Amino acid sequence: MKEKLKNMLPIIDLPLVILALYMIFLYVRADATLGESQRIFYFHVSYAWIGFLSLFCNFVGSIMYLIKKDRFWDILAVSSAEIGIVFCLVVLTTGPIWGKAAWGAWWTWDPRLVTFLILTFIYVEYMVVRNSIDEETKRGRFSAVIGIVGFLNVPLTYVASHLWRTIHPNVIQPGRKWSMDNDMTMTLRVSLIAITILFIFLLLRRMDLEAMKDRLAELRKKIMKDA
């Protein structure tokens, strides 16, 4: 059942990705103020959502590993962290491109931008710590602590534009109707669904890769022992 789901996800997601691209570039109209450059918004927000979702999965995996000491949760944590870093880097790339058109500058020391940059650095450090420790239990425990503490910056990043004066737009707010026209709202929703399914597929495959590394390590130990 699990393998069937993994094989079905690309089949389900491909039409959604094509639809999302069609809606972004052909269906939704250009913004009256920013023009065509505003289309990057749909990529930027979708990648940011997956970045946060990935780090939430890392947070859950880290907590469960400390409680259960089960390698499965450590695999979930490291797999989601790697994907999260990639998507965070994309956000930090698309953001300045969009910011240049909107604000006239590639980068500003806006609270949300700064907290997001710090968040990315924390999870890069997470991977550095993992790769510097050979012993499996110690590696999982140390990185889990970083994952849990690092996730505290996620809600801070999200509410940064509420806590401080910021020029970053606040289009999506919990409990409120999205402050966009219907065609923009629909385009963003399709983009979010498509990128979320892609994330699930990447996560499952990355976890498979980590499990294969474990099996390979066990085989090496067995070969060395029998030699």
Q: Dump pLDDT digits (tens) for 44-100.
A: 989 999 999 999 999 999 999 999 999 999 999 999 999 999 999 999 998 888 777
- Does position 171 have pLDDT exceeding 60, yes or no? no
pLDDT surpasses 60 at 167? no
Instruction: Give the pLDDT band of residue 165 (cuts 50, 70, 90).
Output: low
Residue 211 lies in a domain: yes
> For 85-135, what is each residue's pLDDT tens digit?
999 999 999 888 877 777 777 877 877 888 889 889 999 999 999 999 888
Tokens of 116: 């997001």
- pLDDT-derived band at 3, boundaries 50, 70, 90: confident
* Entry pTM: 0.86
Residue type, 107: W
The model's confidence at residue 36, banded by pLDDT at 50, 70 and 90, is: confident
Looking at the structure of the chain, the number of domains it has is 1
Judge whether 6 lies within some domain.
Answer: no
State phi, psi for 139 to the nearest 5 degrees: -60, -45
Which residues span the domain enclosing 219? 13-25+39-166+181-226
CA distance 192 to 213: 31
DSSP string, 65-104: HHHH--HHHHHHHHHHHHHHHHHHHHHHHHHHHHHHHHHS
Q: Which of 53-62, 127-136, 170-179, 199-208 has the lowest mean pLDDT?
A: 170-179
In this structure, is residue 32 part of a structural domain? no
| Both structure tokens of 77 | 């944590």
Q: Is residue 190 part of a domain?
A: yes
- Cα separation, 113 vs 205, whole angstroms: 30
In a domain, 31, yes or no: no
- What was the pLDDT predicted at 112? 80
Residue 18: inside a domain = yes
Look at residue 5 and tell me if it is in a domain: no
Q: Which of 125, 157, 151 is nearest to 63 (CA)?
A: 151
